[in-house]
Structure 1
Amino acid sequence: MRYEILGPLRVADGATYTSISARKIETVLAVLLIRSDQTVTPHQLMDEIWGVNLPLRATAGLHVYISQLRKFLHRPGRSENPILTRPPGYVLLKGTDEVDFHEFLQLIAQGRAQMKQRRHEEASSCFEQALGLWRGPALGDLSSGPIGDGFVTRMMESRLECLEMLADAHLELGRHRELVGRLYALIAENPLCEAFYRQLMLALYRSERQADALKVYQTARRTLDEELGLEPCQALRDLQRAILAADSQLTARAAS
């Protein structure tokens, strides 16, 4: 089986996908997947399902959800259900099954290692594969508690890092012209991410658009001041000065 939660939660058996319509059961599966191979206590699960508004028979309700989830994950030919009772709670054993966010994080790690070795083409491929695993917001529109919220935040930050490293890899490969539109879109989605402003300024400068690159700096400066009362970071200020001075170190090799 393959579990996918970089988007609405679904379970794949080959080319067949199944999902859970009952939100509370879906929440239980999501939490057990996030903590796969780790024991999750009943209290943690109930906190994710109900928060502070626990019903009178919360423990009995959780037992029912676990039972229904085991039925949902039962597959003919498998001797053991992936969800086990393990004191003081429950655990989802991944075994040979796949989880998409594990693959996502592994691809990012591989890409980061390739970047350190200056193998930018290989790094770019890893980052693009990682981003291709996303089908929408992590966990879709599933509301959750501390474990789910922490996971979503972690995945969002990891995705931003992946996008930044992919742009850096493309800049190293001389693909600055094809980056421009993508970076404008990323800035619109993440107006406080200074890395994207820096990358866009550099891509525009290398595309012989010096004036546009300087306008991006002014946009970054205005946005950061209005939103946070801050000046651009040192890297942005240094890049602005380098562009004004037509620093030869800003040039790049031709696109590959």
Structure 2
Amino acid sequence: MLSFSILGALEVHTRTGQVDIPGDLQRTLLQVLLVSEGQAVSGETLVEEMWGESTPDNQVNALQAHISRMRRRLKSLEPDRHTSRLTVHPSGYRLAVDESEIDAAQFLGKVHRAEGIVATRPAEAVGLLRSALSMWRGPVFGPLPGGSVCRLASALYDEHRLRASELLFDAELSAGRHASILAELRDAHISNPLRERFCEQLMIALYRSGRQTDALDTYRHMWKRLSEEIGVLPSPSLRSVEHAILSHDPSLTLTSAPTLCRSA
């Protein structure tokens, strides 16, 4: 049985440990097939992803050579497997991978389960989300980002990662752990300065920690950044948090957490 990791540089594991997929073209080929989630990928797409503008003269033969090489490599790693993982179809090439065999699918599954319980069982959701986020080893595909298909998939997984972080902070706030996550929240806000949800969560955590002035300063800096960099005003949601802090709204207290610490 093989397992594949793409939340970071591509890794392939067998029961005995990590194995190498040599060559950038072979690694790119495998990456495209993995992010296609079991759907067939056309030969034209594979050629574009693998070679970009440096397409070989005989691209059909070149692609076939790499397909055959990949098929042999996968077979050598699973000698007891009766059918090839890599098959050809009328619409292209398909890699058979179960959700349990790829880290990205496992990550999304944990996040989805956490979404269903974050409002009612926040402590349990925290465990799921921290486990999910710990699966990330770096940027998707690491130093070999691939072509447009791989880059689009990478951007999508990155968005899911940020969403998981937002859910994590919602759960931590609902569990009353505002003081313990202040450093994490500040890092998330600094790393994603235009993402308003992190700003809201940081403001709430600061306010609950007895730091109303810092919470309002955070809002003012966010307002200035939004205005100067993209020419927009803070969202109604962010403005409502500022108003609640100014008025000491009871909805900011832990017992009324669902009002403002919602999962969007």
TM-score range, shorter chain: over 0.9
2:171 pairs with 1:169 = yes
Structure 1 length normalisation: TM-score? 0.94
In the alignment, what sits opposite 2:135? Answer: 133
* Structure 2 Cα separation of the partners of residues 97 and 105 of structure 1: 11
Q: Deviations over 1:122-161 (max 9, x none)?
A: 2111111110111111111213222111100100100000
Q: Deviations over 1:149-177 (max 9, x none)?
A: 11001001000000000000000000000
Number of residue pairs matched by the alignment? 252
Higher mean displacement: 81-90 or 215-224: 81-90
Match of 1:63, as an amino acid?
Q
* Structure 1 Cα separation of the partners of residues 37 and 165 of structure 2: 26
Segments of structure 1 that go 5 or more residues without pairing to the other structure are none
1:17 aligns to what SS in structure 2? strand
Q: Deviations over 1:57-109 (max 9, x none)?
A: 11111111111111221222122221112223211112586111111111111
Q: CA offset at residue 250 of structure 1?
A: 1.0
2:206 aligns to what SS in structure 1? helix
- Judge conservation of contact 1:197–1:216 (CA < 8 Å) in 2: yes
In the alignment, what sits opposite 1:18? Answer: 19
Segments of structure 2 that go 5 or more residues without pairing to the other structure are 256-264
Choose the corresponding residue for 2:180, options 171, 178, 181. Answer: 178
CA RMSD of aligned residues (A): 1.5
**How does 1:38-187 map onto structure 2 within 5 Å?**
38-74=39-75, 75-95=78-98, 98-116=101-119, 118-187=120-189
Change over 3 Å in CA distance of 1:218–1:167 after alignment to 2: same
- Judge conservation of contact 2:11–2:18 (CA < 8 Å) in 1: yes
**How does 1:232-251 map onto structure 2 within 5 Å?**
232-251=234-253
Runs of 4+ residues deviating >3 angstroms: none
Change over 3 Å in CA distance of 1:180–1:27 after alignment to 2: same
2:39 aligns to what SS in structure 1? coil
- Judge conservation of contact 1:9–1:19 (CA < 8 Å) in 2: no
Higher mean displacement: 155-164 or 122-131: 122-131
* Structure 1 Cα separation of the partners of residues 179 and 100 of structure 2: 41
Q: Deviations over 1:194-228 (max 9, x none)?
A: 00000000000000011111110011111111210
Higher mean displacement: 68-77 or 214-223: 68-77
Q: Deviations over 1:214-246 (max 9, x none)?
A: 110011111111210111111111111111111
- Judge conservation of contact 2:99–2:105 (CA < 8 Å) in 1: no
Match of 1:72, as an amino acid?
R
* Identity percentage of aligned residues: 35
